[in-house]
Chains A and B, each alone.
Chain A
Amino acid sequence: MKRFVYVNDESCGESYCDNRVSNTKYTLWNFLPKNLLEQFRRFMNQYFLLIACLQLWSRITPVSPVTTWGPLAIIFIVSASKEAWDDYNRYLSDKKANERKVWVVKDGIRGQIKAQEIHVGNIVWLHENDEIPCDLVLIGTSDPQGICYVETAALDGETDLKTRIIPSICANLSSDQLGKVKGVLECPNPDNDIRRFDANMRLFPPIIDNEKCPLAINNTLLQSCYLRYTEWACGVAIYTGNETKSGMSRGTAEPKLTAADSMIDKLTVAIFVFQIVVVLVLGFAGNIWKDSNGRKHWYLMYPAEGPWYDFLVIPLRFELLCSIMIPISIKVTLDLAKGVYAKFIDCDEQMFDRETSTPAHSANTAISEDLGQVEYILSDKTGTLTENIMIFRRCCINNTQYGDDSGDALKDTRLLNAVSSNEPDVVKFLMVMALCNTVVPIKSNDGAISYKAQSQDEEALVNAASNLNMVLTSKDSSSAEICFNSSKFQYELLDVLEFTSDRKRMSVVVKEGGSGKFLLLSKGADEAIFPRSNPGQQTKTYLEAVEMYSHLGLRTLCLGWRELEEGEYKEWSKKFQEASCSLDNRECKIAEVCHSLEQGINILGVTAIEDRLQDGVPETIKLLRSAGINVWMLTGDKQNTAIQIALLCNLITPESNGQLLSINGKTEDEILRSLERALVIMKTTPERKDLAFVLDGWTLEIILKHSMESFTRLAMLSRTAICCRMTPLQKAQLVGILKTVGYLTLAIGDGGNDVRMIQEANIGVGISGREGLQAARAADYSIGKFKFLKRLILVHGRYSYNRTAFISQYSFYKSLLICFIQILFSFVTGLSGTSLFNSISLMAYNVFYTSLPVMTILFDKDMSETTVLQYPQILLYSQAGRLLNPSTFAGWFGRSLYHALVVFLITVHTNAYEQSNMEEISMVALSGCIWLQAFVVTLDTKCTLSCGASVVNLHTGSPWL
């Protein structure tokens, strides 16, 4: 399962697709059949097509076929043209991308070709600010160090610059050589993982280097990224066209179906069954009437012997007569309504975040009703509940705690004194702060240095270090320079042992410029560092410091270092190289190798970083909880920090009123026992409101493996939970568990680690925050601040649900009303299936008189926003689905039957005898229905008033007499 790419070899590229990017769903030729096929996959459309086809048989059709073909055609044309328009726009943008000119080097000659003509193996030459046309492996840049910067916002939404480096094998190639270089790359088949690229490369003569050189994601330039701050760069095309990593990760998301939608579907099926029953009964009765009575009525001229299908004619007629029971307009009406809800969210001024200038946005226009039915909110902590502005507050170096008095270590004179007096422990501590990271310093023209970092914590640490006179002045892939108290220190950067969520630590290996000593600098979570500390070292004070800091809701990191023997490093470096080169399971192997080096670390100290709560978070959580929504916090952070934040933001109540059940243990048995214990307490405590449980990622893993059922039961009982140390996958798993039990979940987060959870949940909400836009892009809704969630749910969600509940049931009601009148009428026509209404009346009734006026409900507010936010308990109504369920639907059903009876009986009695002609009765009945609709819409959904509506109805016949 590998692909071999021969550099600069025309014959190789032929076997792979060219670089034509195609995002279109259709071609000119397959549009009609493909689109029709897609549309007919829906049950409703199939049903309508069947009805429309039956109507073509004039023997059975009660009304002109236009009544069904017309609306059906309109529905199809509307959705087809929407698809076509979208597809055409995609085609245009593809075309623009495909025909863009790019520079390509072939056998040393540079030439311009269209982007779509790039083949695998070509060498593509890029200039500053160029968009990268396909996936490339970097082989040369203008930078002497062989690095270049790319902006990957289009790919992963992260706005910071990423560094890319030339593979070692290609370093020192001159630009002439670059054009003629030949070689082979061994890389995996195309996949969609934008964080991983495990490949290797070998060059052919004349540049001989028989060693295989490993390639990783930081040697690649991926399609749709931009080259920045680099004069030029060139690379070998490895994946082209739709096989690039960005092309593979595209893909149509599964459309989400709201709870309200699936309820409507169920009701539709119920109505369909009802319709079949009615048709069978009436058809049977009609045949009996025909045989026993019909032939006596000579003026009907029933033939003595009909064709073989005669017994089918009357049932089929009734089927057509009753086909309007399922309103053809409901889908269009609902789609339109949903579009309007989404627009309301986009336009809501009160959900506009002024600080970051981000409006709320609903990327998915189809699921607003679900917002009003949310039962569980699963929230990320960092960046979602907190601001994700990291500020270095306190530290503990060499058993001295700084920053305790003022709350800001940077102002602690003791620390400042220690810095100015070059206290060795403090200097080392600061050096680790400045060097052990992946921060890129960027010098602006006026000499000021700003830092670009992927992690907010690192940025905070580097900034704090520079405030304490330890300034990271420059850094590239192989070296770094720091400046401490005006003296400069050079370091050679040898290896970076990267941070992963499993390792929870990162280290760098540097070689000190002056002394030539090899140093391992590490930083990481306390539980990742302390077990690896030097056994001789006392860590008690550090542990206490960590404890104390996390009680204050601060994020802690432990810093450590170790001097390496040269031999030890060399040996390890070889292993590390091997692991980095392996094609499969690379991550795991690297982690193992890293582990072997990160031993016996001397702890230097602990840093504490503050991440403040976002504005309005406690109030919002309190409001959401009183609205009956269960809020869970899923975080990658430490348990203590998480609990403190949870206390601060009203998620859990302090000990006297609430109880926090901790599920933990050292062994599997202990964990499972503690789970059972928690379950028993949860069950026996009468007021469960203030019970919460807390567990961490490791515990969850064991529980899910052994005792899924108990955990599910616990999850159903628990209104609050704090889950710490969660991996992205576990977050998604928790969402999945709640979903399988049938709860409607909303996941909210801001970072890349929340994406899976956001996609898994019924509703995904992204905070367009500081960790990039990745979460916001994957989400159904994006908002600027957590506090807007209350408005999104209580105002928009609730209104949307109420409105959809009304519109959908009303659509059925008005169709049933007409249908019941037709059925009642059939009893006075010898069950022959005569339609009381003509085609035009029926169409006008469905479109002009009833579908359009109901749109006024889109602006209806049953209660003012203020009231809803004041009494959030009102959400229980929509949450429990009290406005759209079989029993409310039965109410509407009964109402339509009752209204039909009233309209029909009154019409028939007032227009008896000499006034009993078809047109007149049909018009009177129709206008009766229209008046009724108007009253029903006006009187809203208040069931108490429906009898009022029918009383007034008595009047409706009279103007027409």
Chain B
Amino acid sequence: MDSSNAAGTSNGGSGDGDPAAAARRNTKMPKYSKFTQQELPACKPILTPKWVVSVFFLVGVIFVPVGVVSLLAARDVVEIIDRYDDACVPVNMTDNKLGYIQNETISKECTRTLTVTKDMKQPIFVYYQLDNFYQNHRRYVKSRNDAQLRDYKKANQTTSCEPERTTADGKPIVPCGLIAWSLFNDTYIFNRGNENLTVDKKDISWKSDREHKFAKNVYPSNFQNGGLIGGAKLDSSIPLSDQEDLIVWMRTAALPTFRKLYGRIYVDLKENDTITVKLDNNYNTYSFGGKKKLVLSTATWLGGKNDFLGFAYLIVGGLCIFLAFAFTLLYVIKPRKLGDHNYLSWNRHPAGR
């Protein structure tokens, strides 16, 4: 009892000898435990200038190399991006792109030539990139039914699939919903000279999706049969778990600009190789001014070509080191005694409040 009142503000004890003996006498005495007496061991580090400077310095020293390494890794990635939505519109139709894409009689075939800027090691990832496409829109995101995809017996479960639930005569659509209905349907064929570069479309989707979310015994039915055709059609003889383009598409993007994996090319490309891409420009992005891009990219341990992380680490690390130096300088030039009572507010404004 007396020990913690060492401040001398009061003779806290009532002075009746041994507290333990008194405790035994008094049954009403609260039981002692560190928990109830709020005496749990704790450490309260004081932020002395030395501590602050060393912490900042340490963070800086760790972050800067991490930043450099990730920046280097990102720079290693070779990326070829080709925007083709405008270029594939025939010259006479540039004023009426919507008419072009909606007219089924016009051939949508288009050829693009790409030049490899740097050596590209296999595997080379083929992505299509859409801009200004709101896969994250609430109407869109919600318009699916996972139960239906998992279990063939639940084909009738089309709740939340509005407005693509059933065909006009009331049969359930599998897979239902706007997401599946608007499946991307541009296709790409790659050639280097005369050599055909096969695009491997296996395992482009998440393994967990294939195994758990899309069942092996669920087959598309009544898909794209309605009046309005959205995007790609599905081969109704292939189970959903093997429809990998669909699986990739249905993992909705969170941002209006996104890339989706189209396939992989297991061939090394040399600098200055020319690659011709024969593509079917079927997908309508013209009505809402979206862009379509074809992306070929290598990958490193850090993923694709994204400088952001490296820069972020560098900037924060640099800032920390700068602050460490600034504080050191401040400490050397104008040191302040730690725990100086003159800085306490009631000492600065003696009148109280």
Q: Is the CB of B353 within 8 A of A348?
A: no
Q: How far apart are A288's CB and chain B's nearest CB, in angstroms?
A: 15
Interface assignment of A832: CB less than 8 Å from any CB of chain B: yes
Contact of A866 among B5, B30, B346 (CB under 8 A): B5
Nearest residue (CB) in B for A314 is B138
Chain A residues near B1 (CB-CB < 8 A) = 349-350
Known: A350-B12, A951-B319, A958-B309. A859 touches B42 (CB 8 A): yes
Known: A296-B288, A301-B163, A628-B353. A913 touches B129 (CB 8 A): yes
Could you mark each residue 280-309 of chain A with 1 if its beta carbon is under 8 Å from any beta carbon of chain B, else 0?
000000000000011011111111000000
Could you mark each residue 459-481 of chain A with 1 if its beta carbon is under 8 Å from any beta carbon of chain B, else 0?
00000000000000000000000
Could you mark each residue 335-370 of chain A with 1 if its beta carbon is under 8 Å from any beta carbon of chain B, else 0?
000000001101111101111011100000000000
Nearest residue (CB) in A for B127 is A914
Q: Is the CB of A301 within 8 A of B14?
A: no
Interface assignment of B137: CB less than 8 Å from any CB of chain A: yes
Cα of A62 to Cα of B160 in the assembled complex, Å: 13
Contact of B137 among A829, A906, A916, A944 (CB under 8 A): A829
Chain B residues near A961 (CB-CB < 8 A) = 302-303, 309
Chain B residues near A302 (CB-CB < 8 A) = 139
Contact of A350 among B4, B136, B228, B346 (CB under 8 A): B4
Chain B residues near A866 (CB-CB < 8 A) = 4-7
Chain A residues near B345 (CB-CB < 8 A) = 876-877
Nearest residue (CB) in B for A299 is B182
Q: Is the CB of A301 within 8 A of B12?
A: no
Known: A293-B288, A348-B37. A354 touches B26 (CB 8 A): yes
Interface assignment of A420: CB less than 8 Å from any CB of chain B: no
Cα of A358 to Cα of B30 in the assembled complex, Å: 10
Known: A865-B4, A916-B254. A954 touches B316 (CB 8 A): yes
Interface assignment of A400: CB less than 8 Å from any CB of chain B: no
Q: Is the CB of B160 within 8 A of A58?
A: yes
Interface assignment of A657: CB less than 8 Å from any CB of chain B: no
Interface assignment of B152: CB less than 8 Å from any CB of chain A: no
Q: Is the CB of B254 within 8 A of A300?
A: no
Question: Which secondary structure dominates where chain A touches chain B?
Answer: helix
Chain A residues near B5 (CB-CB < 8 A) = 350, 866, 869
Nearest residue (CB) in B for A908 is B255
Known: A906-B312, A916-B253. A299 touches B261 (CB 8 A): no
Known: A876-B345, A913-B306. A300 touches B36 (CB 8 A): no
Q: Is the CB of A914 within 8 A of B309?
A: no
Nearest residue (CB) in A for B261 is A914
Interface assignment of B93: CB less than 8 Å from any CB of chain A: no
Contact of B288 among A298, A616, A914 (CB under 8 A): A298
Known: A615-B14, A790-B10, A913-B304. A861 touches B178 (CB 8 A): no
Interface assignment of A620: CB less than 8 Å from any CB of chain B: yes
Contact of A616 among B11, B136, B258 (CB under 8 A): B11
Cα of A36 to Cα of B18 in the assembled complex, Å: 53
Nearest residue (CB) in A for B5 is A869
Q: Which of these binds chain B: A76-84, A518-526, A546-554, A917-925?
A: A917-925
Chain B residues near A616 (CB-CB < 8 A) = 10-12
Could you mark each residue 332-353 of chain B with 1 if its beta carbon is under 8 Å from any beta carbon of chain A, else 0?
0000000000001110000011
Could you mark each residue 1-33 of chain B with 1 if its beta carbon is under 8 Å from any beta carbon of chain A, else 0?
100111101111010100000100111111110
- With an 8 Å Cβ cutoff, the count of chain A residues facing the other chain is 83
Chain B residues near A945 (CB-CB < 8 A) = 47
Q: Is the CB of A347 within 8 A of B29?
A: no
Q: Is the CB of A829 within 8 A of B257?
A: no
Q: How far apart are B255's CB and chain A's nearest CB, in angstroms?
A: 5
Contact of B10 among A303, A787, A836, A916 (CB under 8 A): A787
Interface assignment of A112: CB less than 8 Å from any CB of chain B: no
Q: Is the CB of B139 within 8 A of A352?
A: no
Could you mark each residue 895-924 of chain A with 1 if its beta carbon is under 8 Å from any beta carbon of chain B, else 0?
000000000001011111111111111100
Q: Which of A495-547 contact B (CB under 8 A)?
A: none
Chain A residues near B319 (CB-CB < 8 A) = 951
Q: How far apart are B218's CB and chain A's nearest CB, in angstroms?
A: 21
Nearest residue (CB) in A for B228 is A301
Could you mark each residue 871-892 of chain A with 1 if its beta carbon is under 8 Å from any beta carbon of chain B, else 0?
1110011011000000000000
Cα of A348 to Cα of B287 in the assembled complex, Å: 73
Q: Is the CB of B255 within 8 A of A619?
A: no
Q: Is the CB of A917 within 8 A of B352?
A: no
Q: Is the CB of A830 within 8 A of B137?
A: yes
Chain B residues near A916 (CB-CB < 8 A) = 253-255, 257-259
Nearest residue (CB) in B for A347 is B36
Contact of A296 among B28, B140, B287 (CB under 8 A): B287
Interface assignment of A828: CB less than 8 Å from any CB of chain B: yes
Chain B residues near A860 (CB-CB < 8 A) = 42
Known: A349-B32, A619-B10, A910-B308. A834 touches B260 (CB 8 A): no
Nearest residue (CB) in B for A788 is B12
Q: Is the CB of B141 within 8 A of A349?
A: no
Cα of A348 to Cα of B36 in the assembled complex, Å: 7
Contact of B14 among A354, A620, A623, A799 (CB under 8 A): A354
Q: Is the CB of B309 within 8 A of A910?
A: yes
Nearest residue (CB) in A for B252 is A918
Interface assignment of A317: CB less than 8 Å from any CB of chain B: yes
Interface assignment of B320: CB less than 8 Å from any CB of chain A: yes
Q: Which of A776-794 contact B (CB under 8 A)?
A: 787, 790
Chain A residues near B138 (CB-CB < 8 A) = 62, 317, 829, 832-834
Q: Is the CB of B137 within 8 A of A832?
A: yes
Interface assignment of A417: CB less than 8 Å from any CB of chain B: no
Cα of A906 to Cα of B231 in the assembled complex, Å: 33
Interface assignment of B230: CB less than 8 Å from any CB of chain A: yes
Can you report 10 residue pairs joining A to B where beta carbons are below 8 Å apart?
A: A301-B164, A359-B30, A790-B10, A829-B134, A870-B7, A909-B312, A914-B258, A914-B259, A914-B304, A951-B320
Query: A348-B37, A829-B137 known; 17 other A-B pairs, CB under 8 Å?
Result: A297-B288, A299-B181, A300-B139, A300-B140, A357-B28, A616-B10, A825-B136, A828-B136, A828-B255, A829-B134, A829-B256, A832-B137, A836-B254, A866-B4, A913-B257, A914-B127, A916-B259
Q: Which 10 A-B pairs rank lowest in CB-CB distance, beginning with the nearest?
A: A347-B36, A299-B182, A832-B138, A870-B7, A296-B288, A921-B254, A914-B259, A909-B308, A347-B30, A834-B138
Interface residues of B (CB under 8 A from A): 1, 4-7, 9-12, 14, 16, 22, 25-32, 36-38, 40, 42, 44, 47, 59, 63, 125, 127, 129, 133-134, 136-141, 160, 163-164, 178, 181-182, 228, 230-231, 251-261, 284, 287-289, 302-304, 306, 308-309, 312-313, 316, 319-320, 344-346, 352-353
